[in-house]
Chains A and B, each alone.
Chain A
Amino acid sequence: MWRWVAEAAAVFAKDLRTEFRTKVALNSLGLFAITVLAAVSYTVGPYRIAEADRPFLLSALLWIVIFFAAMAGLDRTFVKEEETHTAPLLRLAAEPLVVWAGKLLFNLVLLYVLMALLVPLYSILMGLEIPRPGRLVALLAVGGYALAVVTTMVAAIIARAISRGALFSVLSIPILLPLLIFLIEGTRAVAEGNPGGVSSTLRAVVSLGGVMTVVSVFLFPVVWND
């Protein structure tokens, strides 16, 4: 068990090291999120939305920025292995589930870093008021995990195809839309101070993330070893 964890941590550390050399995924995610946030803030801004519509519209815009920023960079973890022809070596060096766990952890850290930078900036620029920040943090944590699980699996699938960049969004978005709906409703409940709405969303997101984790554990070795 500990050997398995140590190997997954080694895959994660390798990805982190190679990412800091090129910063392709970090730049893609971060710059895309900042650019879209600037566009949204300039065109919509904090005062052009009616008071009654603010919780829903600001929650929807926040998650749309996060989801599309994720689409811009989370495929890199597998695509770079294929582009640099290091995937065969990784297949020889580690078990499929170790690779999956390491890559998932890397995508998760990338997403959490993005959220840590983006959400406070979004709240300031768009005037999103959060009465109980702890609930939003819980929602971001479980939402980020579910998002990372799905995108890691889809990234593994598209890495073996041609025209990968476009395919990643095309394949991910239909699967992620239920999650997007849940998270928008949950963030709206947080902004409106509705704890019942937050807990029902958390249950839905945790169950979706859990189911996707189980399916990924079964499917990833098939996709990776093919």
Chain B
Amino acid sequence: MIRRVAPWVLLVWMSWVIWAAFMRVAPAAGFQGQSSRILFFHVPTAWVASLAFLVSCVASIMYLARRKPVDDARAAASAALGLLFAVLATVTGSIFAKVEWGAFWNWDPRQTSITLLLLIYAAYFALRGAVPDPERRATLSAAYAILAFVTVPFLIWVVPRIYWSLHPDVMTNPDPDSRLDSSHAQVLMASLAGFTGLFVWLYNLETRIERLRRSRAEEEL
């Protein structure tokens, strides 16, 4: 029942988010022109890319602990979605950077972090492609996912302390004037929830497809 209703609820929810992002709220103060509207899509895609990385790491730990192929399928599905959302976050961030700062790319610490996340995801899939044996592929890629995840706190908390960042902090900024007002924050929260729901739905689909693919391959054997 939930599986059948969830996509329709998600469709309505995301339609409302898109409508609200463009029609319900005025452009936020302190941003160039209409550029603030992209935050409603950029922040959630970046959040989902990070969430997918965490899910992939947890699934990898579970694979090493339980050795169940489904955990490897979960880790790979989450990494694939993480790669997709990281690309979307990079593209939307670059458009925002061009409007606000005059250049698509300037190696801001946040841009460096998302680039590294993209490189790690790409390396993860390069490794998976280079190991023909499924069990060994699962073990090695799980080990790499965990090793790579360890660097994330250093990227998020330590590197920005070394390099000065242009990136706006609209959620946790200590200066209340630099935060989004309540109507913008509502749309952003709704968008974050919607994108998280979208990730969960796509993740379940990917995992189910992978399970079917594996059971079919076993039947053929």
- Taking Cβ atoms with an 8 Å cutoff, the residues of A that contact B are 150, 153-154, 157-158, 160-163, 167, 170-171, 173-175, 177-178, 181-182, 185, 204, 208, 211-212, 215-216, 219, 222-223, 226
Interface residues of chain B, those whose CB is within 8 Å of chain A, are 64, 112, 116, 119-120, 122-123, 126-127, 130-132, 135-136, 139-140, 143-144, 146-148, 150-151, 154-155, 158-159, 162-163
- Decide: A160 and B136 in contact? CB cutoff 8 A: yes
Whole-angstrom distance between the Cβ of B50 and the nearest chain A Cβ: 15
Residue of A153, A154, A161, A182 near B130 (CB, 8 A) is A161
Residue of B nearest to A171 (CB): B123
Query: Across the interface, do A208 and B154 meet the contact criterion of CB distance under 8 Å?
Result: yes
Among A167, A170, A211, A223, contact of B139 (Cβ-Cβ < 8 Å): A223
A178 touching B159, Cβ below 8 Å: yes
A174 x B120 contact (CB < 8 A): yes
Q: Name 17 A/B residue pairs within 8 A (Cβ), A-sorted.
A: A150-B147, A157-B144, A161-B130, A161-B140, A162-B132, A167-B126, A167-B127, A171-B127, A174-B116, A174-B120, A174-B148, A175-B120, A177-B119, A178-B154, A181-B112, A182-B158, A208-B151
A222 to B145, CA, bound (A): 13
Bound: A127/B63 CA distance, A: 51
Complex CA–CA separation, A154 to B64 (angstroms): 17
Extra 7 A-B pairs, beta carbons < 8 Å, given A174-B119, A222-B143: A157-B127, A167-B126, A174-B123, A174-B148, A178-B155, A181-B162, A204-B158
- Chain A residues near B119 (CB-CB < 8 A): 173-174, 177
Residues on A with C-beta less than 8 A from B154 are: 178, 204, 208
Q: Which residue from B64, B112, B131 sits with its C-beta under 8 Å from A160? A: B131
**Taking the nearest CB of chain B, how far is it from the CB of A102, in angstroms?**
19
Give the Cβ gap from B124 to chain A, nearest Cβ, in Å: 9
Contact A226 B136 (CB under 8 A): yes
Complex formed: what's the CA distance from A219 to B149 in Å? 13
Residue among B146, B148, B158 having the largest count of chain A Cβ atoms under 10 Å: B158
- How far is the CB of B162 from the nearest CB of chain A, in Å? 5
A171 touches B64 (CB 8 A): no
Cα A175 to Cα B163 in complex, Å, equals 18
The answer to whether B123 and A226 have CB atoms under 8 Å apart is no
Q: A181, B159: Cβ atoms under 8 Å?
A: yes
Q: How far is the CB of A31 from chain B (nearest CB, A)?
A: 26
Residues of chain A within 8 A of B116, CB atoms compared: 174, 177-178
B126 contacts A170, CB within 8 Å? yes
Known: A178-B159, A226-B139. A171 touches B144 (CB 8 A): yes
Chain B residues, CB < 8 A from A181: 112, 159, 162-163
The CA-CA distance from A208 to B140 in the complex, in Å, is: 22
Residue of B nearest to A156 (CB): B143
User: How many whole Å from A155's CB to the nearest CB in chain B?
Assistant: 12
Bound Cα distance A130, B140 (Å): 42
* Cβ-defined partner of A175 (8 Å) among B64, B130, B151: B151
A222 partner, pick from B126, B127, B139, B148, beta carbons under 8 A = B139
Least distance between A126 CB and chain B CB atoms (Å): 23
In the A-B complex, the 5 residue pairs with the closest CB atoms: A174-B119, A161-B130, A174-B120, A226-B139, A178-B154
Identify the interface centre among B123, B132, B159: most chain A CB within 10 Å of its CB: B123
The complex places the Cα of A154 from the Cα of B122 at a distance, in Å, of 15
* Contact A170 to B123, CB < 8 A, known contacts A157-B143, A160-B140: yes
Contacts A170-B123, A173-B119, A223-B140 hold; do A178 and B130 have CB atoms under 8 A apart?
no
